[in-house]
Every structure is written in C-alpha cells, then in structure tokens.
Amino acid sequence: MAHVIKTDGEAIAIARELAATFAEGAVRRDAERVLPVAELEALSDSGLLGITVPAEHGGPGVRTATLGAVIRELSAADASIGQIPQNHFWYLDSLREHGSPEQQAFFYAEALAGRRFGNAAVDARGPNGERERATLRPHKDGYLISGRKIYSTGALFAHWIPVTALDEDSHRVAFVPSDAPGVTVVDDWDGFGQRTTASGTVLLDDVFVPAEHVMRVKRAEVSTFRTFGLLIHAAIDTGIAEGALADAAAFLRGYRRGGWPGAQPEKVVEDPVVIQLFGELAVLTRAARALLESAGDAVDRARSAPPEDFPELAAEAAVAMAAARAQADRAANRVSAEWFELAGASAVREPLGLSRHWRNARTHTVHDPRRAKVHDVGNYHLNGIAPRSYPR
C-alpha cells in the first residue's frame, strides 16, 4: 500500500523531496532515453497519486493549486516525469464528474493504493486523415473494445488504461487493466523532447471490459473539467521554466569571461547587462507561477459555488487558466532558450544536458498553441465570450 498523504503541505513537501532525487538522473535519462520506471514506483509509493481523491473517499482532496504545485516541482526536476501522471489526474477528475458512486469508490481506492492510470484517448488517423475511432460492442455482461490510440502518455507505466470509445449512442471511457488480453502498448514515441514520457501507441483487439468499468460521459453546458486538465499542462510548462532558470543560474555563477593576458577573468554574474536580462527571464517565470496558483484557486471557487453562481465562476476559471497556460508557454520557451545568450559556447556541451529544457518546452507547448489561449483571454475581456469549458 502507498503512503496516504493527509494535507496540502505534506503533498508539496513530498513532491520537493522526490523532485530532488529525480533531478539527479534527469540528464542521463534524457540523453540515453532511460525510462523512469523506478522513479514512477517511488511516485506511487509516495502517495502523491492519491492527493486529489476526495476526503469522503479517504484522500486529502487537496486544493487544485496544490496539484499544480506538485506537478510544477516534479517537472522542474524532470519534465517527462511531470507529464506522465497528467492523465492519471485527468481521469480521476473525470470520475468525479461522470463516475457512478461504485466506480468512484473502486477507482479512488486504486489511486490511494498507488495504482497508476494511463491514457488511450487520442484516436489514430487513417491515410486520408480520418479518425480511426475505438469502438465498444456489447458482449455478455460487458463490452469488447477495439481500436488504435496514439500519444498515449502514461500507458506504458500504467496499471489501468482509460480508453475513450464510442458505442451505439454515446461517448464512454473504459478502464482497462494494462495486462488485459488483447492490450498491446507500443513504445514508439520518438520526439526530440519529453523523451521518456513513452507517449506511444495503444492497440486494443477485442479487449473485454466488464460493464462496471465502463463510464458514460455526460455532456454539460458548463464544466470545470477541461479547465482542470489545462492546469496540469500549465504546471508542466511552469516547472520547465523554473528548472531551466535554476540550471542557468548555477551555470552562470561558475562562468567567467576571459580578459586580456594577465587580466583577472570577469565574473559574468556581475555584468549589469546579464543581471538585467536574467531578471527579465525570472519575471516571466514568477508570473507564470503566480497565474498558475491563481487559476487553480479559480477552479476551486467555481466548484464550491452555489448553482446560480457556477456558470459565471466557471467562465472566469476558464479564462484564468487560459492566461496561466499562455504565460507558462512563453516562460518555458523563452527562459529555456534565451539564457544561452548570456553564456559562452561551453554551455552547449552535450554532457551538461542543458538543451533538454528547451527541447522539452518546445515539445510540450505544441500540445495546445499559445495563440489559442491568448485569443480566449482577449475574446472574454473584449467581447464577453468565455472559452469552451467542455472538451469536444
């Protein structure tokens, strides 16, 4: 059994402790594409995978901002590890919104026990770009599910793989054991960044799923579900910015420019221009962190509001999250790239692994383009039109 975390403060403290150990091997894992199997076992044992389980089900039910802080700490150490549990928390939140009481009781207990939830949500594409949707067919006291899913982050390391699929009349999520007959997880992710997320392919060939493990997704006019999911993306990017900034500072503190023969080398950190430019990058990063926490609190305000206030507060939460996502995108990409202008050629030496922050930022931020988030914020403040709060 995993440790059961009791408070928000304990969750953040454990995340920081784990992050320090994960950082030690991050360069080697990225360079050699070593999958973080042992690190994810430690994450399971720590109790962090159960922190969003509601108190009535035995979990701490931490603030949304606390989840953001945990993901941010992990991502600063190793952005791949920070991304892997993204879908774990996404589907725990989906259970909150769509699961039956029996499904909630069962799967929340699994999360508290350290079981990991992966993801098989993105449909593969056919030769003409059409989606190859996974399908459910009734079979005995359950369903048979078949299909091919891509970008399945977390599936390779998961105990449970939630699979999105269509039956005759609705959208459903089937919770499939990763070792079920007919399930194949292919480690074919080959991106230049986020190298060890194993965001590969899941193949399903008439996999049987009992009816009690299939959740019907109920569409709603307004929801905070998608907003909650975006928080995790923003937290990953903010963590990347913080990790890059910390590594940049450590490198620059030990870097001296050579002078004329016989002259004392100049400490680069005493150069006013370097201090100014580094300060600009630090401001971007601090702003991303502040917006991330603010957006998390906005989600919680909406969720605790009376029904008559919920639509307005859910819209505000969606805008707050769009702003956080936009700022985190900018901070991650700029900090991880621009600090190299303050250093010499020795900063780009491969053994240092300092390019991984930029590669991770560039890879992860293409998931959800910044321009779309800026448009959402502008459209709300200019025209009063809130972002879509529910996924298509």
Q: Is the pLDDT of residue 335 over 60?
A: yes
Closest CA to 74 of 131, 121, 27, 16: 16
Class of domain 122-216: mainly beta
Neighbouring C-alpha atoms within 13 Å toward the C-beta of 200: 18
> What is the distance between the alpha carbons of residues 173 and 171, in angstroms, rounded to a whole number?
7
Residue 218 banded pLDDT, cuts 50, 70, 90: confident
Domains 122-216 and 225-383 are alike in CATH topology? no
Q: Measured on CA atoms in the order 383, 287, 241, 270, is the torsion positive or negative?
A: positive
Q: What is the mean pLDDT of residues 243-267?
A: 77
- Secondary-structure percent of the chain, ordered helix, strand, coil, rounded to 5: 55, 15, 30
Closest CA to 6 of 88, 70, 62, 65: 62
Q: What is the mean pLDDT of residues 136-159?
A: 95
Lowest-confidence range among 30-39, 175-184, 246-255, 381-390? 381-390
* Domain extent listing, the chain: 8-112, 122-216, 225-383
Q: Is the pLDDT of residue 43 over 90?
A: yes
> What is the distance between the alpha carbons of residues 292 and 320, in angstroms, rounded to a whole number?
8
Strand 160-166, strand 122-125: pairing: unpaired
Q: What is the mean pLDDT of residues 67-71?
A: 98
Residue 263, pLDDT score: 45
Q: What is the mean pLDDT of residues 144-157?
A: 96
Q: What is the mean pLDDT of residues 369-373?
A: 93
Amino acid, single-letter form, for residue 376: D
CB atoms within 10 A of CB 374: 17
Amino acid, single-letter form, for residue 293: E
> What is the distance between the alpha carbons of residues 231 and 294, in angstroms, rounded to a whole number?
10
Amino acid, single-letter form, for residue 131: R
Segment 336-358, tens digit of pLDDT: 999 999 998 899 999 999 999 99
Residue 392 banded pLDDT, cuts 50, 70, 90: very low
Residue 131 banded pLDDT, cuts 50, 70, 90: confident
Residue 169 banded pLDDT, cuts 50, 70, 90: low
Of all residues in the chain, what percent carry a pLDDT higher than 90? 84
Residue 270, pLDDT score: 87
Of all residues in the chain, what percent carry a pLDDT higher than 70? 96
Q: Which two tokens stand for residue 367?
A: 């998931």
pLDDT, mean over the chain: 93
Residue 257, pLDDT score: 67
Strand segments, DSSP code E, in 211-255 are 214-216
Strand partners, 207: 145
pLDDT greater at residue 81 or residue 272: 81
Coil, strand or helix at 300: helix
Residue 283, pLDDT score: 98
DSSP assignment of 257-275 equals E--STTSPPEEGGG-HHHH
Cβ neighbourhood burial of 354 (10 Å; 0-12, 13-18, 19+): buried
Class of domain 225-383: mainly alpha
> What is the distance between the alpha carbons of residues 319 and 222, in angstroms, rounded to a whole number?
13
Domain 8-112 has CATH 1.10.540.10: yes
Q: What is the mean pLDDT of residues 96-103?
A: 96
Residue 130, pLDDT score: 82
Residues 6+ apart with CB under 8 A from 290: none
Residues 6+ apart with CB under 8 A from 94: 162, 173, 215, 217, 225
Residue 389, pLDDT score: 62
CB 119 within 8 A of CB 91: yes
Cβ neighbourhood burial of 390 (10 Å; 0-12, 13-18, 19+): middle
